[in-house]
Amino acid sequence: MSVRKHPKRQAQAGISRAAESGGEFVFGVNAVMTRLSQGAGDIRSLRVARGDSGRVGKLIDAARALGIPVETVDSRKLDQMTGVNHQGVALEVTPPRMRGMEVIDDLLAAMDGNALFLILDGVQDPGNLGAIIRSAATLGVDAIIVPQDNSAPLNAAAIKIASGGASLVPVVQVVNLARAMEVLKAAGVWTVGTVLETETTLEQTDLTGNLALVMGSEERGIREKTRRHCDFLATIPMPQPALGFNVSVATGICLYETQRQRAAVNRRATENKNA
């Protein structure tokens, strides 16, 4: 298999539900630790099931270090709040909202060579947006970028379907998508657009390094102006292309392939180091 390489350009989520107080919950040990590592931000409190304080002691210490109130509650209360296996811990957070370009600027300044951005061009259904956010949170996306116009709102429906992901991955709204892509590229991020009209598959495309994946709408795909700002174009091979994929499913496939390639690179690096 030939893999298209590019030169180096210089420059886990828990499910959340609405709380009575108007917030939502991020829960599960890994999801809570990830959220705490991002700082206090919009976290209101940490709820710990009675009897589990020893098992989640590091989370309690991290929360207190950030000045976040810690409350011990009955495990059945957490069941009611979350509705699923919470592993004895949940964070109550303010419902997510669209963010501004300053979030991207901060992420670009802190890039470590494996940044991953997701650009959505014309995804207008809140259900699809929510499902995409959930996959993005699960598969290591640093931020999602959407245009101000012709894009689904980050409303209650999207947040619910995102299952806590919207509190882990910022959704950034920009006025000019093409301009945002130029900012990414100037900082050393390569952009790969997903289209039907190419013979180059995702597997043949280098998805390692600082990268932005561009997904279009189900009806029209990526707009021509957006396509012109992509460094590469790639497609998902489909035995029955007439049927196609839902955009949220296609996004999940693209993100999985991205992480598969990155894991393979890391594995080879470890093997070479130990050889």
pLDDT, one tens digit per residue, over 23-54 is 678 888 888 888 888 888 888 999 998 876 66
* Cβ partners under 8 Å of residue 102, min gap 6: none
- Residues 171 and 193 sit within 8 Å (Cβ to Cβ): no
Q: What is the 3-state secondary structure (H, E, C) of 140-158?
A: CCCEEEEECCCCCCCCHHH
> 24-93 with 102-269: one CATH topology?
no
Grade residue 21 by pLDDT with cuts at 50, 70 and 90: very low
Find the DSSP H helices in the chain: 29-37, 57-65, 75-82, 102-109, 126-138, 156-162, 177-186, 224-228, 247-274
- Span 220-225, mean pLDDT? 92
Could you state, in order of their start, the residue ranges of all structural domains in the chain?
24-93, 102-269
Reply yes or no on whether the pLDDT at 2 is more than 50: no
Considering only CA atoms, which of 189, 256, 199, 259 is closest in space to residue 229? 189
Return the CATH class of domain 24-93: alpha beta
Beta strands 43-49; 24-27: pairing state? unpaired
4 three-class SS = strand
> Which homologous superfamily does the CATH classification assign to the domain defined by 102-269?
SPOUT methyltransferase, trefoil knot domain (3.40.1280.10)
* The residue to which tokens 């270090």 are assigned: 65
pLDDT, one tens digit per residue, over 125-163 is 999 999 999 999 999 999 999 999 999 999 888 887 887
- Span 202-228, mean pLDDT? 94
Which pLDDT value is given to residue 95?
Answer: 80
